[in-house]
Every structure is written in structure tokens, then in C-alpha cells.
Chain A
Amino acid sequence: MAVSQLIGARVQRREDPRLITGHGRFIEDRLPVGLLHMAVVRSPHPHARILRIDKGAAAAAPGVLAVLTAEDFHKQLQGVMPVTPSFVPEKKFVPDRFPIAGDESCFQGEPVAVVVATDRYLAADAAELVRVEYEPLPAVVDPEEALREGTHLAHVDGPDNIGWDMTFEGGDIEAAFARAEVRVTERILQQRLAPTPMEPRGVLADYSPYDDRLTIWLSSQNPHFIRLFISGAMGLPESRVRVVSEDVGGGFGSKISPYPEDYLVPAASRILGRPVRWIETRTESVLTTYHGRGQVFTAEAAAMRDGTLLGLRLTQVLDLGAYHGTFGAFQACACLMAGGVYRWQAIQARTIGVLTNKVPTDPYRGAGRPEGTHLCERMVDRVAQEIGMDPADLRRKNFAREFPFVNNFGLTYDSGNYDGSLDRALELVEYSSWRRRQEEARKQGRLIGIGLSTWVEICGFGPSQPTAAATGGISLVEAAQIRFLPSGSVAAYVGTHAQGQGHDTTFSQIVADTLGMPLEMVELRHGDTAEGPSFGYGTYGSRSLAVGGMALHKAAVVVRDKARNLAAHLLEASPDDLVFEQGTFAVKGDPTAHKTIQEVALAAYGPNLPTGMEHGLEAVSYFDPPNFVWPFGAHICVVEVDRDTGAVALQRYVAVDDCGNVINPMIVEGQLHGGIAQGIAQALFEEIAYDQESGLMQTGTLLDYLVPTINEIPDLTLDRTVTPSPTNELGVKGIGEAGTIASSAAVINAICDALSPLGIHHVDMPASPGRIWKLIQEAQS
């Protein structure tokens, strides 16, 4: 690599000036001429037969141009919404999903009709006038209950409620348990979470009858895949559909998969021949944007009395909701990652996907990896408690230390130094001092707890071979293009798409360094399928830097190599005799003979090229990583539990993480702040609750669904170790999900540690004061 100036520097985020001065551009900011507004009529029932829809009053309401139902959309849209194999290739029951319900609606909030009007308010008023006659059907609410034979069906024509049932075998589990001196079991809940991005979903579609082309503006993490899906459903060649995603106000995984409205809005635009827009309300967001988590684990761990871990057996019951999420089976990776950073003789993990009458679940920040980590870290703590060993010592005794490390399911951890991050975290938190204070506090009846979470994640999706099978054919690699324009500015295109991650900054740092350019001369473009390489693979699974950043780097190297050859020609020297520093090619030993890369770029469009060299200075590169990347770290949380009220006060939070080489430390810290806050949110606050009888959502507003704010998040002490990834030339891993993957376990382990003198072994999430108070009451009675 060239001499690095920008990589590793705390470059301020280039996207922030526009965002904090109100010049960001979100879906609602676009106002095309002739814009129409769509409102969605949604089923109020968890499960119902739709007997009749009377459009009359709504169609006659002021400003209404159309009231459309499944019948109308079947003439526009072909096929069903996609479901990828992901980690569960064999599925038992995959109910067909059309974007709008026909005879049967299967979750509260499922679209039943849409109203298109000249004004958003008129559309909302008219939506209330659509008369839908329902015959309510019994709702399937509890996923474990849904597995019982003879229970109600989430789909009346379904064979049962089992979406999948698959067991991953990682070693001889019977042999591992046979040796065990200690066994612990636990039942661990992962409540449903609502992603609640600050910008809810939004779709604006403009179908042009002139050239039979469709443009969709979408708040999306994944514009190219959405183009693929929508073009197929609309019967248009992929080349005639353009998906544009500009600023995205947060996604957290919820803007990866296609949604019903992504189909309904373009279809409505084609029916009416005018641009149509739908903006999700916050109520719709909580009710219908795909939820995360929603799982119940039962687990048993086996160990020796000296702390040696032997075996882990677990079952994941995953509440799919009414339909499979497009990438919902990704969450089964909790099973493959349940061994964490430890050496186990064997792991056996069964995953059961269950259909219920609720909104589908799909990847949400971490997607399976927070669940796997939470389970692993809880079970390791349970073993430590059972044999009376310090949880830090037990972890050290079982850490994987030789890399590459192959886990029980054949996944290869690329690099790691688990002792390094744990030791640093223990030092920063002053572990032994807190243990002493805990001892003192207990004598006074106070409940202080210290919780550890030593985590590892699989991320950076690709590589092409395993991910082709997971998506159903398209390998997850990444594409980038570098274009040097004649006047010397650089346009860089990449197929990932940020939703707050700061790619405009970090990716420009990589390109600028590789080409020896000032940052200001690099323009980073993403999110528009009409620009750059033919396909892009989106931003999720902490993949953007390790795959997309590398694609950009590769394309920049191709451009730089061509520039070197051209510079050599212009300087009448051999390419091998040139040095490239600070953006200038210079002939070794001749200080007067040099060309800047900008001068070379201009020459690339001029008359004086070496024989055989084509004009222009641009390149498209695809990067196919040879492996996933494996960030890791150690989080430690200190809490005090109020014995009288059950309230948890977070006293201290230390996180030492390792994501390999760091491009921009400020952005890494920002990702950790947000990620840890989101994990604390799950541990203590957020929960989507449904009434167990009626199946109706009970937490439909942000008054009841408790997203914490800065007031509820403690100061975070961050540090890092640096263990470069051998998987890519930049030595980078991913950091977008790390905080969320690590933190729920640290918080809950701390609470359980605090409550252990009362004989309480486990607390489910969210660890609300009421829930903890009840546990204390039960323990004392």
C-alpha cells in the first residue's frame, strides 16, 4: 500500500454537515410533480377470513383516485415474495406470501386494501371508509404452544405450524455429556424487538408509460436486491427498473428484505400512470416493520469440575411470524455461533422455525449472533457459578488460542486474541477492586453484580461459495468502480449502502489513500442502481468494509497500476523505476522527473498513450473474500440492583473490542456506542408484547415500546486491541453489530451475579424492575 495518511485517522464524517443542517434527503423530501399518496388499510385481527370488501364510500371520498385490493394487484404482480434458504436449506412449510391479503389475513397489520389520493390526509381519511367484513379466526400466539399437535393453525390451509426443524451436529454430543461432572440447564427468552429506525420506511415509485421504465425511491439497505425482486414481480427487465436510496435514517437490518409496500406502490403507480408515495407512520412501523429476535432457547451445558467445558446442547424455537422473512432463516446462525470463543468437545443445536399470527421476524442488528452470544455467555456463567469458579478464570481456561480456529460446525475463525481483550477489559474496569466492593456491599444487603461477555462474531458476508447457497443463487461478494475524470477528480461507486455507518467518510479514506489523493477529490457514490457496477450486495451483517471497502481498494489499485504504466510512458522510464508517494509518480534518483496522478489522469484521455493501452482511467472490481471475518472482544458491566424495587442501575460499562485494522477510530467508537445502547435496550427496556389470548399487540406506540434515550445509557469506557484479519489485504473486520452482539449478555450476567446471593440463577429480558421484583419475591417466599 501507499504511504497511509488517512487510514487510521479520526476524519470527521463528511455526511454530517448536510445531515445536521437539514439538507439530508429522505424519501419524504422528494416531491415529484403529480405526486399521489397511498394509505394502507390493514387487518385489525391477528387472523381472519376476509369475506367482503366494500370500496364504495372510500372511492367516493374527496381526492381519492383509486381503492385497490388483492384482485387489482394480481393483475400487476406475479409470483410470491421471496424466501431465501439462508442457514436452513430445507424448509417444511413456507406459506406463499402475496404482498396484500386476499381471502385470509394472517397478522395484525397485514395489508388488505390501499387507497391512493391526491393528499396524504385525504388518503388516511378515505382508508377509514373502506369497509372490510372479517370473520375472525383463532390466533396462534405462543410459538411453543404452536408446536403442540392439534393446536390452531396460523394458516387455515397449512399442514401444521412448522416452518423448519433442523439439527446441526458439531461433534459427538453423547460422548461429551457422558464425561461430564457438572450439568446446568437453562431456558432463555429472546423477546421480540421492533427495529424503530428514526426514519420509518418509505417508498416512492414513478412508472413511466413513455419508455416502460420504473424508478423507485426507497429507504433501503439493499437497493440492488430490491430491484431484482421488484422487477421480477412487475414483469419488467431488471435493466428497466432503477432503485434509488439516498440518505437512509437507520435500518438496523429492517431495510434489507422487501416489504409488501415495496410492491404495492410501484404497481399502483403503473395502474394510475403517476408517481405514488407511501410513508410509513410510526404506528405502522412498530406494527409491521419486521421484528427481530422472538426466540426461546432451552440449553444444557456439560463441564468438568475444573472448569473444562465439554458439551452444549440447545434448541432454538424461533417465532417466524405469519410468513418466513426473506432472510429470516439467517437467525438460525445463533445455533452455529452458540459455542462462542470457547473450545467445546461437541455442540448439538436444533432450530425450529414456527409460524404464528404475528408480523414476520427478520434480521435485526446482529441477527442470530446476539442470541448465540447471549446463550453461550449465560451458560458459561451458569457453569462457573455451579462449580464456584470466577467467570473470568473459567473463560480463560476454555478460550480458543490457536488460529485459524475451526469451531464445532466447521467455521474457521480467522484470527483472535481473546486473552488480550479480556485482560485489558478487566484492567480497565478494575475487576478485583469491584469484586471486593461487591463483597462489602453484600454484607450490607446491597446487590452489586459484575457481568462479563467475551464475544466473537461471524460477519463480512461473502464468501461466494457458502453465500450463493444461502441466498438461493446470487453469491455475496462486492462490486466497486473507480472513475478518474479528466480534470482529476475521482468518482468511487460501491454496491454497499450506508444507513448511518459513515461509508462516505471511511470508504473515501481508503480510496484517497490508495490513489494518493486528498479526500476532497474523492466522491463516494452508493445507493443508486443506475450508477456504478451492474450489481451491489447491500449493507448488513457488518460486511461493508471487509467486502465493499476491499472492492474499492482493489479497483483503486487497478487504476493506480494503469496510471503507473502511463506515467512511466510519459516520463520515459520503466514502471519499475517509479516510486508513488503522496499522489506523485517520481523516477528514482531523478527529482525533476515526476507526474502527479491527476496529470496522468488527464493524459489518459489525451493523444499520447503507450502502444496497446486503451483510453480512460477507470476500473470495476469485484471482491470475493476467502473467508468471513471474525471480530471479537470483551465487555464488562457493573450493576446495582435495588432490592426494594428491582430497578437496575448501570454503574460501569467497559468494552474492549477488536475489529482488526481501523480505518477511522471515531466511526468505530460511534458504532460501538450505538450498538451497546441497542443491546442495553434489549437487556433492560424494549419488548414487543402480544396479548396471549387475543394475539393483539400491546406495545404499539413508543410510550409502551420503551426505546431508551441518552439518559438511560451510562458512560461507556471503550478501548481496543488490534488483531488484523488475514482474510483481506486491509486487515479489517466489521464493527457495526459488535456492540449489540456483546452487550445484552454483559448486562444480564451482571444482574444475575447481583441476584445470586438470593439463589436467583437467571433473569430474562427485558430485565424490568417488575420482573426482577417478582423473582426476588419468589426467591424469598
Chain B
Amino acid sequence: MLERLAGWPTWNWRSPFEELERMRREMDRYFEELTERTLRAPIAGVFPLTNITEDNDNFYVRAELPGVKPDELEISVTGDSLTITGERKISPENENVRYHRREREAGQFSRVITLPGQIDADKVQASASNGILTVILPKAEAAKPKQIAVKAS
């Protein structure tokens, strides 16, 4: 009987703490998600927003530039930085049109992107399709990862 009484509170007390612990973990997870969301993309605040990726040989810079003709873009490379300059034009409509929505914007832009490594400026390629600009920047030999074979003695 006594043993039962002694055992009973521990069983009863553990569960609310467990519940709290579970809630704490859940809250942590929410906060983690929240901060991850806001911190994932450090926005430079300069148009155009770009995504940079890399593989063993190249860096890839992509930007969404709908309505910008490829020949209206100016791309230059020096050392480890890439400059994208251009203008987005929206042809003016007839005087007598009535607007329902006007959300698209026209204007000039210029952005410098510093890449995480040296690049081979002579072999940079740029292409635009469906409103997405892709710049392929081959890494300089020094910046490429080298495979080192481990010799077995």
C-alpha cells in the first residue's frame, strides 16, 4: 500500500513535465523554422535578385528578368566579380486605355555580384531564355577542388 502511494506521485508528476518538454521542443521547432525562413535568403535589396550555385567546374548565376531582351543586358566580369547592367522597358500603351492593374515596373538596374572564388573571365558564358538570365562562370584553375589520391603503402 505504502509502496503504491510512493510510486503513484512519480508516475503522475512525470507526465506533466514530459508534456512541457514536448511543448518546448515543439516551440523550438517553430522558431527554428521561422528563423530559417527569414535568414535563409540574405537579400541584398538590389535588383535583380539572383541565385548563385556551383559545381566542381563552374559558378552559375541566375536572375529572373522577365521582359528584358538579351541584347539590352550588359554583363562584365573582373577578377571575382560580375556586373549585370540593363534596363527593363515596358512599351507605353495607347493614351485611351483604362488600367485595371498596374503592377509591373520598368526601370534601370545595375548590380555587382562578388563570387566566392576566382573565375576564368575569358570563358564566361551568358544566356537568356524565358526571362531567366543564366551566367556560367568557369572557376579559375586555382579555385577548383583537387582530388588527391590516397596512396596505400
Q: Do chains A and B stick together as partners?
A: no
**Interface, chain A (partner B; CB < 8 A):** none
Interface residues of B (CB under 8 A from A): none
